[in-house]
Amino acid sequence: MQTIAFTASAPNTLGIELELQIVDPQNFDLTGAAEELLAQIANHPCADRVKPEITRSMIELNSSVHTDPTRLLVEMRGMRDLLVEAADAVGVRVAGGGTHAFMRWHDRTIFDSPRFQYLSEMYGYLARQFTVFGQHIHLGVSSGDAAIALTQKLSAYVPHFIALAASSPYFEGVDTQFACSRLNALNAFPMCGHLPPEVVDWHGFESYFAQLQTSGLIESIKDLYWDVRPKPEFGTVEIRVCDTPLTVEKACQLAAFAQTLGVALANEPMPGVQAWMAYRTNRFQATRFGLHGNYVDPAHGRVRLSDHLKLTFDKLQPLARELGTADLLEALQEETFRNGGDSKWLRSRFNRSQEIAEVVEAAVGAWRGEAPGAEPRVPELPARRRVRASSEPILSLDALKPLDFKRLGGRLH
């Protein structure tokens, strides 16, 4: 069996990737200008960290490696300003958000690179339909065994990341009724999902990977479209479920949340069999209903995801103060529970004008630094039937507070 080299990283380091929309400033549709943007910044010191993505309407920012998320924020603000300036020079605009609100997949063109052309030939129209935009968060780990352990432990928190980052309520001009519709595009790929629960160390991962490769199911680790996956060449664990937020500030807050959570999980046991029974349902609930979805774990049974997320924030705050990430976590928590997140903000923009192009225009403004915030109350639309996450009774946060994780020995889940 061929071994897979794992390049060790310093624990608790982090970095992010942000996939961004390239937008026509006249009609706010996507426009294929990735080559022009790359040429515009070719001589800048950061040019090697601005990259193309699968279609020409996408551009990706890659951070350097950090231990302190506040320094990551300084860097990402600088890269945002660089990209905004380059876009203005080229005559386009840039925006965050997990999907473009009204683009048509058949209008997209594949970026001219061998990897992307191969994907287009392999997956047909799915490659162009994959013009969706995500934030990937990398957490440094010291070994392959540590990478597998963290991958497994983070899997219980995939719904939390989905709900916190959700910014894709619209797709092809339609309100999808999902908080995060972007992941539905990912679900079409054959190797999506998660690391198998039975893989508990690096040797087990090498054996599993060899089986996939020998069977002809994959060619490389890049073919594993898992929600969380090890990245051996970087020495990281990569969280892949987040929509691209509307601002770099929120992107760095999510990175701080991931870093703090990763440290908190270091001494936790692996999730048990029961945790995996609810994985797909928990994931769906988060994509469909966001914070209002249900969440099932072995300790608490079925609760509101928002309630479990509040408990997680409370549990992480003492550690965040030690790590120096408390301010970023507090800002993320306040924005999430006071304003409802990016998907709600985008919907409020549409409700104001009933013009879908104005949703994209607002996202362009947010990326440039006009940060989303609390909005004046929008007049109610005509009554419509609402689909609830469940008609079953839900445990309240008050019912959970007495637990305070004591029965779990201080564990997070």
**Which helix or strand (DSSP H or E) is residue 229 part of?**
strand 228-231
Residue 170: strand pairing partners: 175
Q: How confident is the model at residue 267 (pLDDT cuts 50, 70, 90)?
A: confident
Give residue for tokens 């683009």.
Answer: 103
* Minimum mean pLDDT range among 28-42, 120-134, 350-364, 377-391: 377-391
90 phi/psi in degrees, rounded to 5: -80, -25
pLDDT tens per residue, range 9-57 = 999 999 999 999 999 999 999 999 999 999 999 999 999 999 988 788 9
The domains of the chain, with CATH numbers, are 108-357+398-408 (3.30.590.20)
* DSSP collapsed to 3 states, 236-297: EEEEEEEECCCCHHHHHHHHHHHHHHHHHHCCCCCCCHHHHHCHHHHHHHHHHHHHHCEEEE
The pLDDT tens digits of the residues spanning 338-349 come to 999 999 999 999
Q: What letter represents residue 57's amino acid? A: S
Predicted pLDDT at 1: 65
Are 305 and 160 in contact by the 8 Å Cβ rule? The answer is yes
- Identify the residue with better confidence: 49 or 372: 49
From the list 177, 83, 188, 85, the residue with the least C-alpha distance to 132 is 188
pLDDT score recorded for residue 124: 73
Where are the extended beta strands (E) located within 106-196? 134-140, 170-171, 174-175, 192-193
pLDDT of residue 107: 79
User: pLDDT tens-digit profile of 115-161?
Assistant: 878 777 777 777 776 789 999 999 999 999 999 999 999 999 999 99
Distance CA 308, CA 301 (A): 11
pLDDT of residue 187: 85
- Nearest to residue 144, comparing CAs of 196, 195, 205? 205
Task: Please compute the mean of the pLDDT values over residues 399-412 and round it to a whole number.
Answer: 39
pLDDT over 70 percentage in the chain: 89
pLDDT of 377 over the 70 cut:
no
CB 180 within 8 A of CB 301: no
d(CA 73, CA 117): 34
Residue with tokens 């995060």: 180
Average pLDDT, the chain: 87
Give the pLDDT score at 231. Answer: 96
Residue 151 in 3-state DSSP? Answer: helix
Instruction: Take residue 324 and report the two structure tokens written for it.
Output: 């120096």
Q: What is the pLDDT of residues 45-69, one digit of tens each?
A: 999 999 988 788 999 999 999 999 9
How far apart CA 181 and CA 341 sit, in angstroms, is 15
User: What is the distance, to the nearest Å, from the Cα of residue 51 to the centroid of all Cα atoms in its chain?
Assistant: 18
| 160's tokens | 């939390």
Torsion of CA 9, 63, 316, 303, to 10 degrees: -110
As a whole number of angstroms, the distance between CA 151 and CA 155 comes to 6
Whether the predicted pLDDT of 210 surpasses 70: yes
Q: Which residues pair with 391 in a beta bridge?
A: none
Alpha carbons 333 and 313: distance in angstroms, whole number: 7
